Structure 1
């Protein structure tokens, strides 16, 4: 609703306007009426009209003030809502950034753990390969020692030959195991399964024959 009076000066202007109007009516009435009673009646009516005008102006001013206060309150609420919206948006952005940072940190830690595990697995695989190479070297030396101990045409020589054959079979198996380490996954595990049981069986047979030959 549009109001022409927005302040105290508007109210004063309204009251002055009504007073002038009432006074004009009163003056006209007094001039027109010849009798004293008629003039008194007109004066009374003018006073009543003046009071009514002042009351109307006061109501108008009160309505204008009420609308001003309501508009100010609406503006205050709107500004408060905007501040709250911005605060919530900032908190949400901060929480999202923190969540991203935490996810990145966890991902880095997981990647580091995976890399350490992979390196440890590779190191373990290399150690197993080296162990087998050491066993091959020791076995070759053992074969040479057995051959040096053989006495022709003896029972011991026969057993020694069997021990050498078992040792050579074990040597071939170990050599085959070493070759499997040429094809491994990213953790150093061989793609082809290792023949652990076969090697253990061959080594036990070789040791048994060597012990038997040396006991003769």
Structure 2
């Protein structure tokens, strides 16, 4: 059997912010890029549209990239404190089987610190005043859950997120670039840095003999055999 190709689209939109402090300016709500900060929109979170096209070999298990999110984080005097938004991310598989698109909503909480004008450049240089986004927990329950049969003996058996590009670290010994925690979904990014987070799918080729389910007849035979063993044990116990 030949290898199979997984194709589809990755896309998304970002909802209007809720609960932000006064002074902060937003634009782009309802699109794939939300900007905030000063009137120039110095910070942004972008769900990057992506065309999925992955060839999966037979007897193989691994992962492939569905798409990415890019967070450009800059120092701003209009921090806005802590506010929330919703990232609606869609995965639409078109081959081997054309499946209905699945949209998953991630409730994001953004903590954007306010920087005094005198420290905006310093904080970007050192990396000592990072900001964070929480709520991006990607798991097997995401995008409609698993396992997902794609056809052609391929199944999606998991989803996860990981940094594709952490950016550059600040000058300070304590200055980070960016980090992401897979369990909590906490994404931390220093000011003056651009971080890229990838969302991945775990895929399994069903041609692997180790993972091919037994035929129905084999399951029935196994169930009957187990029943005979259980009866024999009960008779022995009564003897």
TM-score class normalised by the smaller sequence: under 0.3
Determine which structure has the larger strand proportion and give its number: 2
Larger radius of gyration: 1
Which protein, 1 or 2, shows the higher relative CO under an 8 Å CA cutoff with sep ≥ 6?
A: 2
TM-score by length of 1: 0.18
